[in-house]
Structure 1
Amino acid sequence: MNDINKALELLLNKLEAWGRHLVLMLPNLFVALVLLIITFVVARAIRNGMDKVIGRFSHSAALNNLISTLLYLSLLMVGFFFVLSVLQLDKVVVSLLAGVGIIGLALGFAFQDIAANFISGIIIAVQKPFGVGDMIETNEYFGVIERVTLRTIDIRKPTGELVKLPNKMVFENPVTNFSFHGIRRLDLNVGISYAEDLERVQGIVVEALQDVKNRVKTRDIEAMYDEFGDSSINMKARIWITYSRQIDYVSAKSDAIIRIRKAFDANNIMIPFPIRTLDFGIKGGEKLEEQLRSTLEGKDSTQQSDNGK
């Protein structure tokens, strides 16, 4: 019974000490609560103001949201540490800082790829080598950009498939942006018969390409002979077209082919078919004509000898 009384007395003394300490801490608790509320209000107001300021300099919604969120969390953390200091919990602050450092280091090793994609996304958002709607080719993928985030870049291929490329792959590999200048050169290979007047054909090709769909009028048309082929003399015809989508390139190429074919038909210019010479020689390259002659002579002599008999 005495042990129970002592335990109850010890408990009451402890509760009384806590109560006195709580009463003494009431002003600090009130100040801490007010400081915490002020921290949330100020952090939110600063974040809203930064959203408007950053939006004037950067058009990347993902990057703007990242900066404002980091600023908001930083302000909340600073205010939280002040609250702990007011409550005389400085040792807790030191422990939290040490814990945050250790956790951050562990997460950095565990999520290296995610961190690399995240940092690559920030750099891409700052440099802006391409944007939504641009036609690009990277990592053997070709298509139009539908979305740019801080983790992936979404590319819609011309055949309809959606490819989500990690930012790290895009950042570390070459990227061809076909939409950057708004124009693109169209190259056509044209085969001409050896019997044609090359200068005349050259002029006909240039004239035929004058009104090709989407052609840039300020750029000259180039029609230059490139090589002696097996059955034709090959020409490269080059024109510049306005370009924003792949259909611009495809339709211009189709139109150019149609116009060249019509111009050739109107001027009786032949596009040669492939020609192959077959060698049936069985004696070290003996010509077919000589082999046939010797075979026929052999047959004639055989027939003469048979008639003589």
Structure 2
Amino acid sequence: MVDKVEGWGRDIVLLLPNLVIAILIVIAAAFVARVVRGGVRKVMERVTNHAPQAKNVANLIATLAYVVVLAAGTFIALGTLGADDVVTTLLAGAGVVGLALGFAFQDIASNFIAGVLMAVRNPFVVGQIVETNGYMGTVKELTLRSTLIETFQGQTVIIPNAKVFQEPIVNFSATRHRRVDLGCGVGYGDDLEKAERVALEAIEGLDVRNTSRPVQLYYNEFGDSSINFTLRFWVDFSKQTDFLDAQSQAIKALKVAFDQNEITIPFPIRTLDFGPNGGVALSEMQLNTSRGDA
């Protein structure tokens, strides 16, 4: 027992220099890890333009950098103590556990990675109106796993970030303006030049219109009962009611202007032909029928 205790004592004395060095390495690694964490957080905030939804991502990545640096320092310290077998075992175990977790939580991991990338790219922010995966509404919340959208009918839709990242995203609020395309038609007997002039004047008089862009009118087809055209004008856009109100006012203004200038907006007309070979009017068909009965 005495010999064994003396052997342990000698081993500890011989190990003391390496132990001191290992402790200093861990302390230095902890200090460097804190510096790296702060630097990574600042870089992430700068890359994401201080977007509110990117704050969690910046903190998470900074924490991961802190853990990586601290773990590296710990492994170096263990190597200094001659515990290479322990380091190898830990690395092998971490690899196996990481692989197993990757297969088990691949959907969660893909949503998480997509959330990080979206926070860096910043395609939209909370409060903007977007359309993605067949849903259109206001973005209410962005998390590292999903995006919450409130539709205009009041429902909340939770979409995984992986699907949002992979599908096209239409951001209606990014430019802060939106174009209204209003379709209408005039009768074949109306003066098209006059109809165009009246329609443009009616829309140009709207208060909701963005005056920095001109009103445009294009005739586009010969319809069944009318010659159809499309009126295009721009409005300032921050919420869906801005678009709907402008569209509603334009319809009313166009209808009033056409009525005042005796320009017709035809409704669909159908001609029914009751003759076996065609060309027989309904009144004539009725007259022939009444004569036959007589």
Deviations along 1:15-62, whole A, 9 cap, x unmatched?
Answer: 776566556656655554454344334422431243234323323324
Deviation at 1:68, TM superposition (A): 1.0
With over 3 angstroms needed to count, the CA separation of the structure-2 counterparts of 1:50 and 1:290, relative to structure 1, is: closer
Q: Structure 1 regions of 5+ residues with no counterpart?
A: 1-8, 301-309
1:39 to 21, 29, 32: 29
| The one of 219, 243, 261 aligned to 1:225 | 219
Percent identity reads 46
1:212 maps to: 206
The CA distance in 1 between the partners of 2:62 and 2:255, in whole Å, is 59
Alignment check: 8 A CA contact 1:213 1:255 kept:
no
- Structure 1 moving runs of 4+ over 6 Å: 12-16
Pairing partner for 2:133 from 139, 163, 171: 139
Residue matched to 2:289:
295
Residues 60-94 of structure 1: CA deviation (Å, up to 9, x unaligned): 32432233122111111012213323433221001
Aligned to 1:251: 245
TM-score w.r.t. the length of structure 2 is 0.84
- Count of paired positions: 289
Out of 245, 255, 263, the residue aligned to residue 257 of structure 2 is: 263
Taking only aligned residues, the RMSD between alpha carbons, in angstroms, comes to 2.7
Contact 1:213 1:251 in 2 (8 A): no
2-side partners of 1:291 and 1:251: how far apart?
50
Q: Which residue of 1 aligns with 2:102?
A: 108
State how far apart, in whole Å, the 2-side matches of 1:298 and 1:135 are.
68
SS at match of 1:163: strand
- TM-score after normalising by structure 1: 0.81
Q: Determine whether 1:241 maps to 2:226.
A: no
Bigger CA radius of gyration: 1
Deviations 1:177-232 (A, max 9, x none): 22232222111111323332221111111001113344221222112222222332
C-alpha deviations, 1:237-263, integer Å up to 9, x for none?
Answer: 111222232222111111111211222
Task: For residue 278 of structure 1, report the CA deviation from its aligned partner.
Answer: 3.2
Q: Between 164-173 and 41-50, report the one with greater CA deviation.
A: 41-50
> Residue 119 of structure 1 aligns to which amino acid in structure 2?
I
Q: Which residue of 1 aligns with 2:47?
A: 57
Deviates more, 1:131-140 or 1:121-130: 121-130
